[in-house]
Each structure stands twice: as structure tokens, then as C-alpha cells.
């Protein structure tokens, strides 16, 4: 089974981050610029939370708050599950399914942020792996 380290070697996307003191409006602009559904919230280089579309919908829109006045720290998810590069894709998928997450930060052994993966990244990789297996089986059968 492929590990995150292998998948991340192929994935070249800059980290989309905001600071806890940034406004939600600013965070939404960063999300739009990077075309992502969640942002890492870093205080310096320390991961302190994740801000997602779900946080915005449930904690701003539904509560009638203003995105231009509310700070990311006030609505971000600050209890962050994460994975390491040695985690398998199946383990990531299981964690995301169990906890109902759509995004997971990837941290190295010392706690430095390396990347963030989405459920879409995992599904894409799973489909690619299955297509490869099917083509190998077809080649074996016809050969």
C-alpha cells in the first residue's frame, strides 16, 4: 500500500495557510485563491488549527456573524488530528471516515507541517491505483 510520502512526492501544491489573527474574510480569499476547502492555521510555524468551509458555514453564516469582523481563531477547529508521511493511504481514509474529516495535515516527526491532504486527494489516488491494477490484470489475462 502506498504511503503519504510517496503520494506527496507527486503532489506539488503550495501550502494554503492563515494566521489565527486574520479575519475570516481574509481566510475565504486565501481559500478562493488556492481553490481549496480548508486552510492550515499557523502561529509562526506552529500548527494551531484548521479553518474549513464547514467552519464558515456553521459558525459564521448560521450564527449571523460577519466574516470581516470575526477572527479565524474564534471559529477554527483547534483540536487537529494529523498524520505523518509513513501513514498509509488506507489509514488516512479510515481516519477521515471515522472522524468525518475532509482534510488532514501531514506533519514530520518534529511537528513541522509538510502538507495537507484532502479526501479528494485520497479518492484520486485510489482510482489511479485501481486503474493500474485493472490494466495489469487485463494484460496478464490477454498475454
Q: Read off the CATH number of the domain in which 111 is found.
A: 3.10.580.10
- Cell numbers for 30: 486565501
Question: What pLDDT score does 133 carry?
Answer: 80
Question: How many domains, the chain?
Answer: 1
Cα 140 from Cα 65, distance rounded (Å): 60
Identify the three-state secondary structure at position 83.
strand
Question: Where would I find the beta strands (DSSP E) of the chain?
Answer: 17-18, 38-43, 46-52, 103-107, 113-118
> Lowest-pLDDT range, 59-63, 73-77, 105-109, 111-115?
59-63
pLDDT at 128 over 90: no
Question: What pLDDT score does 1 carry?
Answer: 62
Domain assignment of residue 93, given as a range: 4-142
pLDDT at 12 over 80: no
pLDDT at 132 over 90: no
139 vs 27, more confident: 27
Amino acid at each position: 500500500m502506498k504511503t503519504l510520502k510517496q503520494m506527496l512526492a507527486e503532489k506539488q501544491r503550495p501550502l494554503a495557510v492563515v494566521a489565527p489573527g486574520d479575519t475570516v474574510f481574509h481566510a475565504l480569499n486565501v481559500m478562493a485563491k488556492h481553490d481549496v476547502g480548508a486552510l492550515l492555521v499557523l502561529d509562526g510555524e506552529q500548527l494551531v488549527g484548521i479553518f474549513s468551509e464547514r467552519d464558515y458555514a456553521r459558525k459564521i453564516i448560521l450564527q449571523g456573524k460577519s466574516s470581516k469582523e470575526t477572527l479565524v481563531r474564534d471559529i477554527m477547529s483547534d483540536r487537529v488530528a494529523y498524520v505523518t508521511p509513513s501513514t498509509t493511504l488506507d489509514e488516512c481514509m479510515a481516519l477521515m471516515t471515522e472522524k468525518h474529516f475532509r482534510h488532514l495535515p501531514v506533519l514530520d516527526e518534529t511537528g513541522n507541517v509538510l502538507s495537507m491532504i484532502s479526501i479528494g486527494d485520497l479518492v484520486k489516488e485510489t482510482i489511479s491505483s485501481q486503474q493500474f491494477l485493472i490494466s495489469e490484470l487485463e494484460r496478464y489475462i490477454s498475454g
